[in-house]
Structure 1
Amino acid sequence: MNFELFNGNVFDGRWIKGSSSIEIKEPATGKSIVSVGVADASMISRSAQKALIAQKEWAEVNCEDKRKLFIEAERVLRLHAQEVIDVAMREIGATRTKAEFEIEFSADEILEAASYPTQQAGTLLADKRGRHSYSKRVPYGVVAALTPSNVPILLAARVIAPALAMGNAVLLKPHPHSILCGGYAFARIFEEAGFPEGVIQVLPADGADAQTFETDKNISMVHFTGSSATGARIAELASKTLKKVSISGSGKNPFIVLDDVPDLDAVVSNAIFATFYFGGQSCMTAGRHLVQQPVYEDYISKLVEAAKQLQVGNPVENENVFYGPMIDPKSINRLSEIVEDAVKKGAELVLGGSSKGTFFEPTILKNVTSEMRAWQEEMFGPIAAVTSFTSDEDAVEMANDTEYGLSGAVFGSLGRARNIANRMNTGMVHINDKSTDDSAYVPFGGTKQSGNGGRYGSYVNWDEYTQMRWFTESVTAQPLHSFKK
């Protein structure tokens, strides 16, 4: 990537100087990568106005031309994949395999979006007056995409691509910890692919200035991925201008292991991935391991032995590490406090619990109970909170004992697992597969405090990024009753 192009700049369809700047640093080493521009409130408002003008023209571009642009964007992404991967390894501490996964998934999202412009987008309706009555899907206008730092490439593509494909313009505000790989990389990709100026803009912002994305009158929809607490604040602000708001929030996902699993080693391998991959910094991480009593001790033993084998370190220096640093150095203290709270309240620390710099070692807590923070909070770190249950009814009750409802996993015989899965109050459930499972071709979203009810991805993107407009047509106007006495 050409860091000089980013130096002090934001992207409003052109590379222009930001209102101020922010320094991007490697979380693993603290070394500076580059200083990039930051947009203030007035710049965001001007960009929103520019985006609205561009969107009106973009919505009229014919379907085949739109489709070709997305196919070209996917080609450009793959062409520059290694550059983006290298930046992600430095900027967010991603391993190479994790960054490669994000690129591949993002390519899927863009190609999926390429199909939308040529799909049917309306419905013929009945009308007892004999008129031609129909509904048509139309774009919202300008969509603000507020994306996180943990899976920044994928989660930007997942919003940008379908929102654009359905005729919207997009203002992307990447998280301050992932401005390069989760923001400016897409500015360059869509710019090189030939998208019209102004329909995709990348505007880093923070603090009170960032609230402009929720309050500006020219922005019609806000899509946020991040903590549920922040999502609630965003929804409250956006409601003052009656914007559509889509929140993809936190998770505290149950990972249930029944006593009739045929291969406990296979289950443990899934648990390792679901708990420790990318240092547990995922909303779909296995937040609570609920293990049936007959296999509980064996599961703990196998989980500990597997976790001991995981290498932790700077992926730029050692590509064999399983995960790298915590993206936010401030999270180290919070993770330590969660472990201390659990031990103080009776949990057994069977592995880890320590940190060095921005690296937190694989940690396993045994006999976690509901009054502990490790049970209640989304930890966003490499900590396995494990406890046991007796009956299938207990498993369901414990799985649902959380304010969140994003994802979940159940391992066991298909009939029992399906029965439990059907009673779990989550937006997604995976039977004999990890809680972090995902795809570009499915509806994604959670229940309860994990989201505000919306889903996005695949066919449900039509509901997410467009709204219905009803039309009636009559050949000529018909006289109405005159009401004369």
Structure 2
Amino acid sequence: MSFLGHEWDGRIFSDGWNTGSGGTRTTVAPATGEVLATVGVATADDVAKATDSALRAQRDWAASPFGERAAILRRAGQLFVEHADEINEWLMRESGATAGFATFQVAAGAAEECWEAAALASASYGEMLRTNQDRLSFSRQVPVGVVGVIAPFNAPVLLAVRALAPALALGNAVILKPDPRTSVCGGVAFARIFEEAGLPTGLLHVLPGDAAAGAAIVDHPRIPVIAFTGSTRAGRAIARAAADRLKRVHLELGGNSALIVTDDVDLDKAVSVGAFGSYNNAGQICMASSRHLVDARIADDYTRLMAEHAARLTVGDTMDPATMVGPIIDTHQRDAVHAIVTNSVAAGATLAEGGTYDGLFYRPTVLGNVPLTAPAYHQEIFGPVVPIVPFHSLDEAADLAAETEYGLSLAILTRDVTKALRLADRIPSGAVHINDQTVNDEPNTPFGGVGDSGNGSRHGGTRANLEAFTETQWVTVRGELPDYPF
């Protein structure tokens, strides 16, 4: 029997399963074009109703013992494990994830995020402050109230749960807007998990919708915190709109992350590491290794081996266990990737492998000797493409890596770790991974980017989550009323 069931068919989750005022839409498997389901569509009216409900439910939730909140988060984590196969299948069909990437999001991602959040519920949440007056003075972290979470299509479970779970654990209600293309795996799954885990009604609302629904969440005066993961363009628009309301926004945006390869590496291993960083989830990851900066002494060999590696990768429907690279999410994104590839070749890059597609299946592509004027060098690709740029000194590598508006993740492959640390000091980045590729994430670590990649580490770990989803409140207590000269 299906855990997700069918009660949600054509509906949104807001105080139970109800009809959305925006009607319905279908979700489609990018690999096959098959219509998978009909889901409800939310509008600004639904956002307003959900917010009213969330505000009412949140007061009692915030006042509940932390042990009750922790128990629900622990139960939710266990449910993700118990029903991983079904949620994985939806991820593979609806978002085009491979089996490995789906498993990473659910059993190794969502479950761990929930368990980490459960521990957050009992974390120390204040400090004693010194005072010159005859009183007790302390600060404490209190829930913000309602948190709006706007999640993308490319990792719809992981990129929602990392905000949703800690926000709930800290006593907030959550309004989640999943990408309409992944409304089931990134929306329905959360509603069913937390419904089954015993989360009280009104604390989680799942409202699939278009940009207008997202704008309504950002604009609503009673949703003081927005957690958004998506494009830099959309992030800028959200930041501008939120500024009018003086809201806090946690933005995890695009990337053009550099993978620096020095000449002392094991070349075969380096190519494997680099391929994973660029081709995992068909390159549709904000942290993807988007620019391979390779020592000129090994750049030709690295390009040749990468091309051979790319040619061997199986591209196809991710429901086939042999598939290594799945589809691009839709034709718009596929065409954007192809335009970057073709324009980069026109600018002087060498097409060493790939550069073709069949439907939404884009062949893993390798571009050698990419000029600095090529779009594959200075734009986020969000597709299965390895652009290789040779460098002639570590100074040049540092300058190239830092020569971008983005600053999400950085990887350095070398046998000299001390050299790598010195190099990393010169390159602005929210994360640095030495002797690994750029796509890394763990529930207990702070994560976020700088520059056009976002506004800092906003998720993960006790301190970052407390700062993200609570307000600091100053409290003083006197034993008796004071005497004032009035």
Q: What TM-score range do you get, normalising by the shorter chain?
A: over 0.9
Mapped to 2, the partners of 1:293 and 1:370 lie a distance apart of: 15
Residue in 2 that maps onto 1:428:
431
Contact 2:229–2:251 (CA under 8 A) maintained in structure 1 = yes
| Kept after mapping to 2: 8 A contact 1:3/1:34 | no
Whole-angstrom distance in 1 between the partners of 2:446 and 2:96: 28
Gaps spanning 5+ residues in structure 1: where?
none
Corresponding residue of 1:336: 338
1:436 aligned counterpart, secondary structure:
coil
Residue range with higher mean Cα deviation, 468-477 or 449-458: 449-458
Equivalent pairs, count: 480
TM-score scaled by structure 1? 0.97
Measured in 2, the distance between the counterparts of 1:189 and 1:414 equals 43
Alpha-carbon displacement from aligned partner over 1:295-330 (angstroms, at most 9, x marks no partner): 1111111111111110000012x2111011101221
The reply to whether residue 257 of structure 1 matches residue 257 of structure 2 is no
TM-score computed with the length of structure 2 as normaliser: 0.97
Moved over 6 A (4+): none
Deviation at 1:63, TM superposition (A): 1.1
Alpha carbons 2:141, 2:472 under 8 Å: kept: yes
Match of 2:41 in 1: 38
Structure 1 residue 285 corresponds to structure 2 residue 271? no
1:475 aligned to which of 473, 476, 479:
479
Distance 2:435 2:201 in 1: 46
Residue by residue over 1:358-408, the C-alpha shift from the partner in whole angstroms, topping out at 9 and shown as x without a partner, is 110011111112211111111100011101001111011000011100001
Deviation at 1:453, TM superposition (A): 2.7
Preserved contact between residue 430 and residue 457 of structure 2 (Cα < 8 Å): no
Corresponding residue number in structure 1 for 2:347: 345
Contact 2:304 2:352 in 1 (8 A): no
Amino acid paired to 2:426: R
Letter in 2 for 1:27: P
Q: Residues of 1 paired with 2:354 and 2:101: CA distance?
A: 23
Letter in 2 for 1:475: G
**Aligned with residue 122 of structure 1, among 117, 123, 126:** 126
* Equivalent pair of 1:368/1:386 in contact (CA under 8 Å): yes
Partner of 1:396: 398
Instruction: Find the partner of 1:210 among 209, 214, 217.
Output: 214
SS at match of 1:152: coil
SS in 1 for 2:293: strand
> Post-superposition shift, 1:4?
2.6
In structure 1, the partner of 2:455 is 452
In the alignment, structure 2 segments of 5+ residues that lack a partner are: none
Q: Distance in 1 between matches of 2:233 and 2:297?
A: 38
Partners of 2:372 and 2:473 lie apart in 1 by 48
Q: Distance in 2 between matches of 1:336 and 1:40?
A: 33
| Residue equivalent to 1:131 | 135
Cα distance, 1:439 vs structure 2: 1.1
> Is the contact made by 1:156 and 1:182 (CA closer than 8 Å) also made in structure 2?
yes
1:229 aligns with one of 233, 255, 259: 233
Q: Which residue of 2 aligns with 1:102?
A: 105
1:3, CA displacement in angstroms? 5.3
Q: Aligned partners of 2:135 and 2:203: how far apart in 1? A: 36
Equivalent residue number for residue 175 of structure 1: 179
**Which residue pairs with 1:294 in the alignment?**
297
SS in 1 for 2:409: coil
Corresponding residue number in structure 2 for 1:9: 11
Kindly indicate whether the alpha-carbon contact (under 8 Å) linking 1:275 and 1:383 is maintained by their aligned counterparts in 2. Answer: yes
- Contact 2:147/2:223 (8 A) holds in 1: yes
- Residue 194 of structure 1, CA deviation: 0.3
Distance 2:175 2:368 in 1: 44
| Percent of aligned pairs with the same amino acid | 39
Quote the residue 2:322 is aligned against: 320
Amino acid at match of 2:365: T
